[in-house]
């Protein structure tokens, strides 16, 4: 039976907004949970989308929210926790997926799409983020016999509202001439947010995706230093990116862990010890060079990009 009504957790975020747009365009009925109505104002205007203010960590409210749905999509995740003992990671990445499974069982929901992370591994990953992501992923797949589960494990995701290129662009604009960068040799295969959203939406009614765990990567690999240098160039800046050695990178992480907003942490440092790349890229994946200049670049650079596109289409 075709999936028509979907409950999305984490829908107000970067990836969720794109998935919900695609679902709305496909005439699906979507229920989105949010702690604050204002966070979902951009979704409330979409056809067939209902925003409900609810605490998704409350089992009764989660059950009520998802009642009558054909599928659930769980996109909830955090890169850093408020504390330093792992409780925040466990709540978001392990406890919530368990509550989602309970809601699926209580409401006879047959389909679950789960957002995990590249290198998620409950036993061997170096960081709490990746270990808890791995444990949550394993837990939902343990119910694959009773529930049609698919999980997705992206590398860093880029797009107009991303927290990667936009964050580095903001940092570069506040620092003069040179930029000290921790873990410069860490490798990524950035994947476009629309490609990630398309994978989720296409999987909903694809029987071949049941029980599968998908690694999602873009078409090319880069070091972190190359990505930050590219950000500087596209933003019209002329920074020299200074790669920090391993021990200084760790010291920087230890200091910034206690900085307001925790821009970088020891756990982030540990995650960066594993390359965020795939053996094979996502099918028909989009290059960052064809997208990033349009939201980071100067007007002059965007005009050049338009000229290149026009010439290529002749």
Mean pLDDT over each residue of the chain, to the nearest integer: 92
> What pLDDT band is residue 313 in, cutting at 50, 70 and 90?
very low
Taking the C-alpha atoms of residue 193 and residue 88, their distance in angstroms, rounded to an integer, is 25
| Ramachandran region, residue 119 (left: φ > 0; alpha: ψ -120 to 50; beta: rest) | left
Relative to beta strand 187-188, strand 222-223 is antiparallel
Residue of higher predicted confidence among 279 and 285: 285
> What pLDDT band is residue 238 in, cutting at 50, 70 and 90?
confident
Whether residue 246 is predicted with pLDDT greater than 90 in this model: the reply is: yes
CB of 141 closer than 8 Å to CB of 105: no
The DSSP 8-state label assigned to residue 276 in this structure reads B
> What pLDDT band is residue 304 in, cutting at 50, 70 and 90?
low
Whether residue 263 is predicted with pLDDT greater than 80 in this model: the reply is: yes
pLDDT of residue 314: 45
- Going by C-alpha positions, the residue among 28, 104, 114, 45 that lies closest to residue 74 is 114
Taking the C-alpha atoms of residue 305 and residue 299, their distance in angstroms, rounded to an integer, is 10
Question: At which residue do the structure tokens 């984490």 appear?
Answer: 10
Residue of higher predicted confidence among 299 and 269: 269
Per-residue pLDDT tens for 178-196?
A: 999 999 999 999 999 999 9
Whether residue 305 is predicted with pLDDT greater than 90 in this model: the reply is: no
pLDDT of residue 231: 97
Per-residue pLDDT tens for 217-233?
A: 999 999 999 999 999 99
pLDDT of residue 281: 72
pTM: 0.92
Q: In order of start, what are the domains of the chain with their CATH numbers?
A: 5-155+191-216 (3.40.50.720)
pLDDT of residue 312: 47
Q: CA 285, 213, 112, 190: dihedral to nearest 10 degrees?
A: -30
> What pLDDT band is residue 303 in, cutting at 50, 70 and 90?
low
Per-residue pLDDT tens for 130-165?
A: 999 999 999 999 987 889 999 999 999 999 999 999
pLDDT of residue 299: 46
């Amino acid at each position: 039976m075709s999936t028509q009504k979907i409950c999305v957790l984490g829908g107000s975020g970067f990836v969720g907004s794109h998935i919900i747009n695609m679902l709305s365009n496909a005439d699906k009925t979507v229920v989105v949970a949010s702690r604050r109505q204002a966070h979902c104002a951009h979704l409330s205007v979409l056809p067939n989308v209902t925003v409900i203010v609810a605490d998704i960590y409350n089992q009764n409210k989660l059950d009520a929210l998802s009642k009558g749905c054909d599928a659930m999509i769980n996109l909830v995740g955090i890169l850093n926790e408020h504390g330093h003992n792992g409780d925040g990671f466990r709540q978001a990445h392990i406890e919530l997926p368990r509550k989602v499974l309970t809601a699926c069982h209580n409401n006879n929901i047959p389909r679950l799409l789960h957002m995990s992370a590249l290198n998620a591994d409950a036993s061997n990953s170096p960081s709490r983020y990746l270990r808890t992501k791995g444990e949550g992923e394993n837990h939902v797949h343990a119910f694959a016999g009773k529930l049609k589960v698919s999980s997705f494990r992206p590398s860093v995701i880029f797009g107009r509202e991303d927290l990667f290129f936009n964050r580095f662009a903001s940092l570069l604009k506040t620092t003069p001439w040179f930029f000290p960068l921790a873990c410069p040799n860490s490798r990524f295969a950035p994947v476009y947010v629309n490609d990630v959203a398309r994978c989720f939406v296409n999987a909903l009614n694809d029987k071949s995706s049941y029980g599968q765990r998908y690694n999602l990567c873009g078409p090319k690999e880069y070091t972190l230093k190359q990505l930050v240098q590219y950000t500087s160039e596209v933003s019209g800046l002329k920074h020299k990116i200074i790669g920090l050695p391993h021990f200084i990178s760790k010291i920087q992480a230890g200091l910034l862990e206690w900085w307001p907003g925790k821009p970088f942490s020891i756990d982030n440092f540990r995650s960066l010890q594993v390359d965020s790349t795939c053996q094979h890229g996502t099918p028909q994946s989009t290059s960052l060079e064809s997208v990033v200049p349009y939201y980071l670049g100067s007007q002059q650079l965007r005009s050049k990009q338009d000229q290149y596109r026009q010439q290529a289409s002749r």
